[in-house]
Amino acid sequence: MPVQPDGTLLYPVVGYLLLMGVIAAWSYGNTDSVDDFMLAGRGLGTVIIAGTLLATWMGSGSITGSTNSLAYSYGLWPAVLSGTSALVGIGVLWFLSSRIRGYDKYTIPEILGDGIGKEAKAIGLVTIAAAYVGIVSYQFTGFGFVLNVTTGIPVETGTLIGAALIIILATTGGLMSVAYTDAISALLMAVGLIVGLPFILSSAGGVETVTSNVSSSPFGSLTGLQFLGYWAPALLLILADQNMYQRIVAGGSNEETDHGIGIWFIGVAVTSTIIPVIAFAARSLFPDIEPGMAMIAMTTVIPTWIGGILLAAAAAFVITTGTSYLLSASTNISQDLYRGFINPDASDKQVFWMTRVTVVVLGAFAFMLGQYFPTILSLQMLAYTAYGATITPALFAVFLMRGHLTKLGGVSGMVAGFSATIIWSRVLAKPFDLNAVIVSAPIAAIVIIAVSLVTRSTQSQAVASGQD
């Protein structure tokens, strides 16, 4: 059956958006420096850290893409299993959290610049900004889905409204406003998913009806390699996600940060299990909808009060994730490009206002980009893979290859990873229907190690020759 818009679901969404506006206005008045705007004054407590990490990671990628779209398109098991990639990544970040805080940097390119060189910093800032613009673009679309379900307006119109709202919120209070609204959003989503699941299963015919359609294969209709192509990009992104690093650095203390990451792990485990179940159940009621609409469509067939809570939380996740990634991409331009290369003597106030101007410019570009991809999942996979193949191997080489990593090795690996992603995805159009990460991430890692070994050996021989 087609999705029937339910205007009553709009009330909790509007109510929560008004609350977000109040928090943004409060944050605007309490944001006076670059540190406040980018890292919330480095004073976030355990609950706020957990909430902002959960809300930022889940966002439209989980609610409309990722596990949601995979469950609707390929089956329940591959969607549930794909959620484990984030859990692995969170575990690694948990282990590395004190080291990440010790770097005391605003951005990932700053770490790459210190560990590899200015060339790596330049490649990193361009890649991260481009990938994050892609991620922001499908947050706009996710909000368009919410407005379509509640008001019946076309998704395209709702997407434009979402773009304007996210740009405005990102321009106001920075991470200070995003972090606090994230915490509330995470609580609402957890309550909505847990309470709403029984109603959704009942609407779809009960547990037995839903589970009777579950494939016995752990990968559903996907092959093992195809599944890996969906599983790996999320892992590679989260391991080097600038947003997560900024939130880890923004914690008030190491202890509060570690506790917050622990709660984040539990939250992702719960939400990434329930969302696929809801999306899979949607196949029996809405067999012909856009896969990204699956979970949102199910809010129309359950009691309005719980559907409203779930939809308000979904809208909040979409908005806060959009503002977070837009703010982070803008930080790369203002902090790494403007202050790092164009105007090294720029004051904090100049960087502060450059960030706000860049938010508007990148937001407009993100909206235009979203019009060229057929599905949220396709754009999500390209953005995740471009980031994961270019940034993650190089960043972990900085962490793990101290004394062995060379500038040429790091830079060559970054170029190889990005080039392989674009060639495989756009030029060759995904041979064998495999996502580019299967090829590009291993290539990047191999090039970094091989070139570093060769150039380090050459350097050592040159030194020895000079001593002779």
What's the confidence (pLDDT) of residue 393?
96
Residue 251 has what DSSP assignment? B
Model confidence at 373: pLDDT above 50:
yes
Query: 53, 138, 78, 58: which is closest to 276 by C-alpha?
Result: 78
pLDDT in tens, 309-332: 888 878 877 887 888 889 888 888
What's the confidence (pLDDT) of residue 463?
36
Using CA atoms, how far apart are residues 32 and 385, in angstroms rounded to an integer?
36
| Mean confidence (pLDDT) of the chain | 85
Question: Secondary structure of the chain: what % helix, strand, coil (to 5)?
Answer: 80, 0, 15
Residue 403 has what DSSP assignment? T
CA 357 to chain centre: 22
Residue 6 has what DSSP assignment? -
What's the confidence (pLDDT) of residue 464?
41
The per-residue DSSP string of 157-222 comes to HHHHHHHHHHHHHHHHSHHHHHHHHHHHHHHHHHHHHHHHHHHHHHHTT-HHHHHTT--SSTTTTS
Contact 185, 320 (CB under 8 A): yes
Q: Where are the alpha helices (DSSP H) in 83-116?
A: 84-103, 108-115
What's the confidence (pLDDT) of residue 352?
79
SS3 assignment, position 428: coil
Using CA atoms, how far apart are residues 132 and 130, in angstroms rounded to an integer?
6
The dihedral through the CA atoms of 69, 70, 72, 76 has a sign that is negative
Model confidence at 405: pLDDT above 90:
yes
Please report which confidence band the pLDDT of residue 227 belongs to, taking 50, 70 and 90 as the band edges: very high
Model confidence at 419: pLDDT above 50:
yes
Query: 401, 387, 385: which is closest to 448 by C-alpha?
Result: 401
238 against 173, higher pLDDT: 238
Model confidence at 139: pLDDT above 80:
yes
Please report which confidence band the pLDDT of residue 56 belongs to, taking 50, 70 and 90 as the band edges: confident
Model confidence at 72: pLDDT above 60:
yes
Using CA atoms, how far apart are residues 51 and 236, in angstroms rounded to an integer?
22
What's the confidence (pLDDT) of residue 121?
93
Model confidence at 218: pLDDT above 80:
yes
Model confidence at 465: pLDDT above 70:
no
Q: Residue 98 corresponds to which amino acid?
A: S
Model confidence at 425: pLDDT above 80:
yes
What integer is the mean pLDDT of 419-423? 94
Using CA atoms, how far apart are residues 463 and 135, in angstroms rounded to an integer?
46
SS3 assignment, position 52: helix
Query: 330, 319, 323, 317: which is closest to 107 by C-alpha?
Result: 330
CA 200 to chain centre: 27
Structural domains in the chain? 7-375 (1.20.1730.10)
Please report which confidence band the pLDDT of residue 90 belongs to, taking 50, 70 and 90 as the band edges: very high
235 against 104, higher pLDDT: 235
What's the confidence (pLDDT) of residue 462?
41
Residue 273: CB atoms within 10 A of its CB come to 16
The dihedral through the CA atoms of 113, 59, 419, 343 has a sign that is negative
Q: Quick one: CA torsion of 458, 460, 466, 468, rounded to 10 degrees?
A: -120
What's the confidence (pLDDT) of residue 44?
80
Using CA atoms, how far apart are residues 307 and 109, in angstroms rounded to an integer?
41
What's the confidence (pLDDT) of residue 275?
92
Model confidence at 151: pLDDT above 90:
no
* Residue 210 tokens, joined: 């839903």
Model confidence at 40: pLDDT above 90:
no
What integer is the mean pLDDT of 291-320? 84
Radius of gyration of the chain (CA): 22
What's the confidence (pLDDT) of residue 120?
95
What integer is the mean pLDDT of 94-111? 84
What's the confidence (pLDDT) of residue 467?
38
Model confidence at 38: pLDDT above 60:
no
What's the confidence (pLDDT) of residue 266?
95
Using CA atoms, how far apart are residues 455 and 73, in angstroms rounded to an integer?
46
* Residue 136 tokens, joined: 């922001």
What integer is the mean pLDDT of 144-161? 88
Contact 331, 178 (CB under 8 A): no
Among 97-111, 124-138, 422-436, the least confident range: 97-111
pLDDT in tens, 188-217: 888 888 888 999 899 888 888 888 877 778
Model confidence at 33: pLDDT above 60:
no
Model confidence at 389: pLDDT above 90:
yes
What's the confidence (pLDDT) of residue 274?
93
Model confidence at 461: pLDDT above 80:
no
Beta bridge partners of 251: 44
178 against 424, higher pLDDT: 424
* Residue 358 tokens, joined: 């860049």
Using CA atoms, how far apart are residues 79 and 224, in angstroms rounded to an integer?
13
Its pTM stands at 0.83
Backbone angles phi, psi at 287, to 5 degrees: -75, -15
What's the confidence (pLDDT) of residue 403?
85
Backbone angles phi, psi at 402, to 5 degrees: -55, 125
Q: Where are the alpha helices (DSSP H) in 391-436?
A: 392-400, 407-422
Please report which confidence band the pLDDT of residue 127 belongs to, taking 50, 70 and 90 as the band edges: very high
Using CA atoms, how far apart are residues 175 and 44, in angstroms rounded to an integer?
10
